[in-house]
Structure 1
Amino acid sequence: MVSRFDQQKTKHQLFHVSLSLATILICMAYMQYRRNWAHLGSFWDSLVVPIVFLGEILKVILARFYGKVDDGVLTAKQRQKKNSYFTPRELLGGFTLQFLCTLLYAFICIILGAPVLGNYEQTFVLALLMTLLTVSPTVFLLGGGGALQVCFCEKPDFVTKCEDTALNLFKYNALGGILGAWAGSVVAPLDWGRDWQAYPIPNVIGALLGSALGNIYACTHVLYATARVYMTKKRT
């Protein structure tokens, strides 16, 4: 039996991955332009966080664009529940969720070796970046209530096929970012005497590169599935 090829889903996935990789490349180009990477830990003197924020917003807009058709398959009750997750109260809840996740990431950074009595701004910037790579996209897509359900491994019943595709791609982005930030901390204690070893530069770069690798893996997975369907059709 020939697998059904979903052209719209494949386009969505490839455009999503392209946006993710473009965001990381822009961040890297900006870092190379600034030369002095010490500014990466500054909230006001670095554009990395705004660039990542804009990239995640664009990916959510892309999911909304491809999800217009899918909204028609929802029942009236599902649409009502979905709309209720974007009321002012729920938007405030989504902001609170992201704030709490930022505090959680900051606490994890301190547990893993970040200075307790110093580098507050650097720890906040790293924690905020991790929140943007992991939790924020889901909040922007499903609202605070929907994101909270996803955090507890419970998918809302109003999630469309396109939104489910976006959530799976967000998962690769999040896992790559987390693993990359953790891997970046390995170089910090090494006695190399390099400027880029200062906290949180290796963690920020690691999070960005890990996110890129996660998206590259997602891209290869999509291309492999597409090629497999194409070869199956060619044989038949």
Structure 2
Amino acid sequence: MVSRFDQQKTKHQLFHVSISLATILICMTYMQYRRNWAHLGSFWDSLIVPIVFFGELLKVILARFFGRIEDGVLTVKQRQKKAAYFTPRELLGGLTLQFLCTLLYAFICIILGAPVLANYEQTFVLSLLMTLLTVSPTVFLLGGGGALQVCFCEKPDFITKCEDTALHLFKYNALGGILGAWAGSVVAPLDWGRDWQVYPIPNVIGALLGSALGNIYACTHVLYMCGRVYMSKKRS
């Protein structure tokens, strides 16, 4: 039984990472196709945000697919509590949480040097992208209340093993995106005169590449553990 669960968990992890890397690859292909860096900071003229949104949504659907059997293990009380996180009131709370996180990221961008009045659309796009990479997946998976609990380092008691696996992978995605966006700021002040140095292009690309590196690290860890299991079985 344990072996079967481990196999399911490994499949879930690999499919999850594959969706993440495919999303980043589609974004990079789209940027190469457009051949115009300036559109990355535009809300209406760029497909980066919608692509990332659907990518994160697919990962949540994947977690639901693998967790459909585990939902039957939950007690009646756990099911009721889980359903309470997806009421209209809680859904509104989830949207509010994402909106507040977007404002927080915008404030951080301004603190770190983004123009206050100029380029407000670019700041909004970057903040929205960061929210999609960090907070939104958890909101989509657990609802507003569950996501708020996770933000305060407290896991809901109704969480399934597949949802716990997804949350663990979301951390790599979020941490990589944050570090990548911050690292992208390094090239902005350099006197190279390149089009891609204009704010927020380095930060957007950095967030996407950082997210990709985080998922590559997660994939490497999963493959390493699979290799250890395979070698131990082969020796025995």
TM-score by length of 2: 0.98
Question: Structure 1 pair 184/92, CA: closer, same or farther in 2 (3 Å)?
Answer: same
Identity, % of aligned pairs?
90
Whether 1:24 aligns to 2:24 is: yes
Question: Structure 1 pair 230/5, CA: closer, same or farther in 2 (3 Å)?
Answer: farther
SS at match of 2:199: coil
The residue number in structure 1 matching 2:43 is 43
CA-CA distance at 1:4 after TM superposition:
8.1
The residue number in structure 2 matching 1:120 is 120
SS at match of 1:146: helix
CA-CA distance at 1:117 after TM superposition:
2.0
State which drifts further: 139-148 or 5-14.
Answer: 5-14
CA-CA distance at 1:73 after TM superposition:
1.1
- 1 CA distance for matches of 2:19 and 2:4? 26
Note the alpha carbon deviations across 1:120-155, whole angstroms, 9 max, x for none.
Answer: 000000000000000000000000000000000000
CA-CA distance at 1:19 after TM superposition:
0.2
- 2 CA distance for matches of 1:161 and 1:117? 45
State which drifts further: 62-71 or 3-12.
Answer: 3-12
The number of aligned residues is 236
- 1 CA distance for matches of 2:126 and 2:81? 34
CA-CA distance at 1:193 after TM superposition:
0.4
Question: Structure 1 pair 47/87, CA: closer, same or farther in 2 (3 Å)?
Answer: same
The residue number in structure 1 matching 2:106 is 106
SS at match of 1:95: helix
Question: Structure 1 pair 200/78, CA: closer, same or farther in 2 (3 Å)?
Answer: same
Contact 1:5-1:229 within 8 A present in 2 as well? no
CA-CA distance at 1:219 after TM superposition:
0.2
Contact 1:3-1:229 within 8 A present in 2 as well? no
Question: Structure 1 pair 31/130, CA: closer, same or farther in 2 (3 Å)?
Answer: same
CA-CA distance at 1:5 after TM superposition:
6.9
Note the alpha carbon deviations across 1:96-126, whole angstroms, 9 max, x for none.
Answer: 0000000000000001111112100000000
CA-CA distance at 1:234 after TM superposition:
1.0
The residue number in structure 1 matching 2:227 is 227
- 1 CA distance for matches of 2:156 and 2:169? 17
- 2 CA distance for matches of 1:95 and 1:118? 26
- Consecutive aligned runs of 4 or more in structure 1 exceeding 6 Å deviation: 1-5
Question: Structure 1 pair 164/5, CA: closer, same or farther in 2 (3 Å)?
Answer: closer
Note the alpha carbon deviations across 1:31-84, whole angstroms, 9 max, x for none.
Answer: 000001100000000000000000000000000000001111111000000000
Question: Structure 1 pair 162/66, CA: closer, same or farther in 2 (3 Å)?
Answer: same
Contact 1:86-1:143 within 8 A present in 2 as well? yes
Contact 1:2-1:229 within 8 A present in 2 as well? no
Q: Any stretches of 5+ residues in structure 2 without a counterpart?
A: none
The residue number in structure 2 matching 1:5 is 5
SS at match of 1:208: helix
CA-CA distance at 1:2 after TM superposition:
11
- 2 CA distance for matches of 1:193 and 1:203? 17
CA-CA distance at 1:170 after TM superposition:
0.3
TM-score by length of 1: 0.98
CA-CA distance at 1:3 after TM superposition:
8.2
Note the alpha carbon deviations across 1:206-235, whole angstroms, 9 max, x for none.
Answer: 000000000000000000001101111111
- 1 CA distance for matches of 2:191 and 2:66? 49
